[in-house]
Amino acid sequence: MEHYNVDQKIQDFIAKIEAKNPNEPEFLQAVKEVAVTVIPFIASRPQYNGMKLLERMSEPERTIIFRVPWVDDQGEIHVNRGFRIQMNSAIGPYKGGIRFHPTVNLSVLKFLAFEQTFKNSLTTLPMGGGKGGSDFDPQGKSDMEIMRFCQAFMTEMCKHIGPETDVPAGDIGVGAREIGYLFGQYKKIRNEFTGVLTGKGLAYGGSLIRPEATGYGVVYFAEQMLKTIDQDFNGKTVTVSGFGNVAWGVIKKVEELGGTCVTISGPDGYIYDKDGITGDKIDYLLELRASGNNRAEDYVKKFPGAEFHAGKRPWEVKCDVAIPAATQNELDLEDAKILVENGVVCVTEAANMPSTLEAINHFLEHKVLFSPGKASNAGGVATSGLEMTQNSIRLNWSSEEVDTRLKEIMIGIHKACRDYGKEEDGYVNYVKGANIAGFVKVAEAMLAQGVV
């Protein structure tokens, strides 16, 4: 009876969110994953019951959608759409990245902002959840076009953000160069030099280790996961997708810990390098990304010992640890089945929501160690939080100091997931653990602050 009631509550909740947010599949996917784990928890806690906490968390506090007009190098006018989702500010100013990619739409940014709220809570730092971006495609654009687009985007966004209000950062398509142009325009319009963005260059308030932080944090987290089964990275074969900033940090740290990454991927297919992506090859990844081609295939031109598999994903390669580091829904049930058949022991998400719900369930059913991005990729935003701290105290910390704090934070997140996600047989359900641990802090703050 008890179970029937909770299942009914989950179904009713999902039906309500579906009715309210039609045509937003990614957002619904993210909310569903949280609902099935958090609603039973809420039902078991009288203080949370009836407070509509998850319903409130699923409605952005504010959604800003704006026109971004800009002029290309040929003098042609273009109109893109800009967004900033200010999801939840219960525990701190809105915080989260800006994505420039043609797939950006309201659904994608709402899913990212929703996950960001839980992720930021898990870091234990005082940051609420937000996300923004544009359907602008940076591929093939000149440097001056990128600059003009960033300026046009910030001309509107600067009215809605600030160091105590909302602090954006990078995400797909937004790196150090874009953050620089965005920062310059904010400073010019507002006449303020503040920590309004993170991921800044070192010369103007950035933090050491921020570029590496997401990838390093993922590997620190995976190290903790492996430790629960008395294993480590030494001698492990690791498959990675993507070839951006996150994949780069992952590959660097895995090498340091004695493992070998053998794949990267792009929209065109994946690279299998049986000798391992090590040494100079890791530095080459930065070049590959900076080329702006968005093609993984270029890797084999430089390193002919590697193979390129057009139109395929790296999950068919046998591995011990899989680290999806590209984008949402890049690993589906079929991929999950192959990974499990091939004996994967640990899947640590580095991208945001790279696995479909069906893939996640397959991993959980087979008791594979599986961690959701909102837990394992939180090192990026955590280090953004450390950048905010450094900006506030007007000091810069050493790499060692930032890296030590990052590692401590990742160990802390792992522990929180374990505390809330450990099942009777000892298996840790990190999805459940991350969702509940992330929920509790936000929920407590919302309860204390009343219905606002």
Give yes or no: 188 in active site: no
Please choose, out of 21-29, 89-97, 294-302, 400-408, the segment that lies near ligand 2IT by the rule CB under 6 A.
89-97
Q: Does 222 bind ligand 2IT (CB under 6 A)?
A: no
Site string for ligand 2IT, 109-138 (x = CB under 6 A): ----------x-------------------
- Which residue carries 């039906």 as its tokens? 15
Which stretch of DSSP H or E encloses residue 270? Answer: strand 269-272
* Smaller CB separation from ligand 2IT, 86 or 352: 352
Q: Does 171 bind ligand 2IT (CB under 6 A)?
A: yes
Q: Does 264 bind ligand 2IT (CB under 6 A)?
A: no
Please choose, out of 233-241, 268-276, 321-329, 377-385, the segment that lies near ligand 2IT by the rule CB under 6 A.
377-385
Q: Collect contacts of 4-12 with beta carbons under 8 A, ≥24 apart.
A: 5/43, 6/39, 6/40, 6/43, 9/39, 9/43, 10/35, 10/36, 10/39, 10/40
Q: Does 438 bind ligand 2IT (CB under 6 A)?
A: no
* Smaller CB separation from ligand 2IT, 95 or 252: 95
Q: Does 182 bind ligand 2IT (CB under 6 A)?
A: no
Spatial separation of the C-alpha atoms in residues 165 and 359, rounded to whole Å: 37
| CB-closest chain residue to ligand 2IT | 97
Paired strand residues for 168: 96
Interface residue with ligand 2IT among 352, 355, 371, 391 (CB under 6 A) is 352
- Which residue carries 């690279």 as its tokens? 271
**Positions in 379-418 near ligand 2IT (CB under 6 A):** 380-381, 384
* Smaller CB separation from ligand 2IT, 171 or 212: 171
Sheet of strand 77-88: strand arrangement: 62-71, 77-88, 128-134, 94-100, 166-169
φ/ψ of 114, rounded to 5, equals: -65, -50
State the number of binding residues for ligand 2IT (CB under 6 A). 11
C-beta separation of 175 from 156 below 8 A: no
Distances (CA, A) of 81 to 66, 84, 243, 327: 6, 10, 26, 20
Q: Does 169 bind ligand 2IT (CB under 6 A)?
A: yes
**Catalytic residue annotation:** 131
By CB under 6 A, name the binding residues for ligand 2IT.
95-97, 119, 169, 171, 198, 352, 380-381, 384
